[in-house]
Amino acid sequence: MRWSILTPGRSAHWDGESLTFTDGIDKSKAPSEDKVEALWLTYYGNIFNPARVKVHAMLAEMPKKYWRNLPETALIPALVREAPGRVDEMMKRSEAKFVAENDEEWTAAPVPDSSSLSTMAKASKACTACHLYKQATQTVFGEGPKGARLMLLGEQPGDQEDLTGEPFVGPAGKMLDRALVEAGIDRSEVYVTNTVKHFKWEPRGKRRLHKKPNSREIAACRPWLEAELRLVRPGLLVCLGATAGQAIFGPSFRVTRDRGKVLKADLAPRVLATVHPSSLLRQPDEESREREYKLFVADLRAAVKATK
């Protein structure tokens, strides 16, 4: 399409075939109506992803003093206010679609009446309480001692965990191991598990990429988590990431709001939430990664302190 960029110092014009430049123009003499602007605002409002709202990042990319020059910035306050409701609506639509596409009978988790973690882990291998067992290599149950002071709860096993049958042995697990050492925590004395026990993934070429579990899958695995909490009876449950936090406190829980606080829940008397170590690996640069890593270690140290 044809366009012009007008500034006081210089102007540029594209006619569909060639680019030309002319002298600048004062803002008061610029056209007051842009027929494309309404279309652009409609487009921007529809591609705005409420699940990824990061105002600080937006400000870092474009300081607010420049916002007056961008028509879409007038929409941002309302879009940010509406974001939580839009996220909830997206989740409901996604859940409804999943149920429609996977309308099948699921069996109850075969949780035995046992006081043995090894018996529980063995029984979990036969779990078909949700469809995830069909595409996973195996169930990945928790590991660690009965009576551990700390119990770490993640989201679900990843690719390497699915292949080995052990929790937190992939890249996120290595990040966790490093942070535990720095926080003065012996991993062999910690019970480590996940909210969902099967790896949920989607193919991407030859790779298996993580796919977030939905509420039905989380609910199907809940009996196993309840059994682990009953048998381990940790002094403190540490939720690693949003999925773990919401499995314990409900869908309205936000890690960013209650991170590092010792809270009480129905499933566990003392709970502390922090980020999932995989989030550290997704940081955009080394400086951000190191900053977030230090905050993560500080949360783990606070968890140790809370058990004394």
Q: Which domains does the chain have, with CATH numbers?
A: 3-82 (no CATH), 117-306 (3.40.470.10)
CA distance 213 to 204: 17
| Closest by CA position to 141, among listed 259, 20, 225 | 225
Supply the Cα-derived Rg of the chain in whole angstroms.
25
Task: Mention every residue, 6+ apart, whose C-beta is less than 8 A from residue 51.
Answer: 83, 87, 90
| Closest by CA position to 154, among listed 53, 278, 63 | 278
CA distance 149 to 13: 67
| pLDDT value at residue 38 | 82
Per-residue pLDDT of the chain (308 residues; tens, 9 = 90+): 888 999 999 999 999 999 999 999 998 888 877 778 888 888 888 887 766 667 778 788 888 888 887 888 888 888 878 877 777 777 777 666 655 555 555 677 789 999 999 999 999 999 999 999 999 999 999 999 999 999 999 999 999 999 999 999 999 999 999 999 999 999 999 999 999 999 999 998 889 999 999 999 999 999 999 999 999 999 999 999 999 999 999 999 999 999 999 999 999 999 999 999 999 999 999 999 999 999 999 999 999 999 98
| pLDDT value at residue 105 | 56
CA distance 280 to 38: 39
| pLDDT value at residue 95 | 65
